[in-house]
């Protein structure tokens, strides 16, 4: 899979990385966006970031695996996140806005 990696301030490359297999609660990302905080990382203006850093924490995709107590019928449903902690904030795409829903359905 392709990932945007900032290896040091003001230096970024798109690199091929191994595609991970989804675990319980994972979302298979289809599209990721670059936002203002990613630009701060690129410009070296975030003192809490260690490099190299994969950017693009706002995403849409489909549920790739479910955990205990979640119906397997949820696998394949659209999902999105706009938080840096994707595992804690993944939500059905329809609940985060129609734009995310339409992108996830493509």
Domains of the chain, by residue range, sit at 2-104
pLDDT at 87: 40
**Which range, of 49-53, 65-69, 79-83, 98-102, averages the lowest pLDDT?**
98-102
- Asked if 82 contacts 27 with a C-beta cutoff of 8 angstroms, the reply is no
Is the pLDDT at 104 greater than 60? The verdict is no
Q: What is the pLDDT of residues 62-94, one digit of tens each?
A: 888 888 888 999 999 998 876 544 443 444 444
Closest CA to 20 of 58, 51, 65, 76: 65
**In terms of C-beta distances under 8 Å and separation of at least 24 residues, what long-range contacts does 89-92 make, across chains too?**
90/25, 90/27, 90/63
Mean pLDDT taken over the chain: 77
CATH class of 2-104: alpha beta
């Amino acid at each position: 899979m392709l990932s945007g990696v900032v290896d040091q301030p003001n230096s970024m490359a798109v690199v091929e990385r191994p595609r991970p297999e989804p675990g319980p609660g994972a979302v298979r990302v289809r599209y990721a966006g670059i936002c203002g905080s990613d630009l701060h990382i690129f410009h070296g203006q975030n003192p809490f970031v260690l490099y190299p850093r994969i950017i693009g924490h706002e995403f849409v995709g489909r549920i790739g695996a479910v955990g205990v107590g979640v119906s397997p019928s949820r696998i394949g449903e659209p999902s999105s996140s706009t938080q840096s902690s994707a595992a804690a904030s993944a939500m059905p795409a329809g609940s985060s806005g129609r734009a995310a829903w339409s992108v996830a359905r493509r």
